[in-house]
């Protein structure tokens, strides 16, 4: 049983090193971090219900997961094909497209969830 828990702790350490690698090396991860922080602060300020929080957290996780998988894909492609190869480019471009799809989807979901209550709150502040 002790070995089981020790291996889980080691696995968590590997995951945290991967997370830190993405934050350290990927410029878009900083954009994701800023937008994630802004969305969370805005959702707290708007006092969103639990269901809206669930959807926001899912799309945030979708974007981060796509970014992490894309970073892993790029690393593996660079390892397997150090020289430029058309198929390596396809792999990297498709990975980047997955991040783009996730990000665009999250923007639309964010507008649908945050837009109406934000508009109402802003109208209330301006109307004072």
23-38 burial, b for 16+ CB within 10 Å, e for fewer?
Answer: eeebebbeebeebbee
Known catalytic residue at 74: no
Closest CA to 68 of 41, 38, 33, 37: 33
CATH number reported for the structural domain that contains residue 86 in this entry: 1.10.287.3610
Domain holding 88, by residue range, is 2-126
pTM (global) more than 0.85 = yes
Q: What is the pLDDT of residues 67-106, one digit of tens each?
A: 999 999 999 999 999 899 999 999 999 999 999 999 999 9
Q: Domain count of the chain?
A: 1
Identify the active-site residue in 39, 67, 102, 106.
Answer: 67
Q: What is the pLDDT of residues 4-36, one digit of tens each?
A: 888 999 999 999 999 999 999 999 999 999 999
pLDDT at residue 128 in the model: 65
């Amino acid at each position: 049983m002790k070995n089981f828990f020790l291996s889980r702790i080691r696995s968590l350490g590997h995951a945290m090193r991967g997370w830190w690698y993405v934050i350290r090396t990927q410029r878009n991860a900083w954009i994701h971090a800023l937008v994630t922080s802004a969305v969370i602060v805005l959702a707290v300020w708007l006092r969103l219900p639990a269901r809206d929080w669930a959807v926001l957290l899912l799309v945030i996780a979708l974007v981060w997961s796509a970014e992490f998988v894309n970073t892993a894909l790029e690393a593996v492609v660079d390892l397997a094909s150090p020289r430029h190869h058309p198929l390596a480019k396809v792999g990297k471009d498709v990975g980047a497209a997955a991040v783009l799809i996730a990000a665009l989807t999250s923007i639309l979901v964010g507008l649908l969830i945050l837009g109406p209550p934000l508009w109402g709150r802003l109208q209330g502040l301006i109307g004072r």
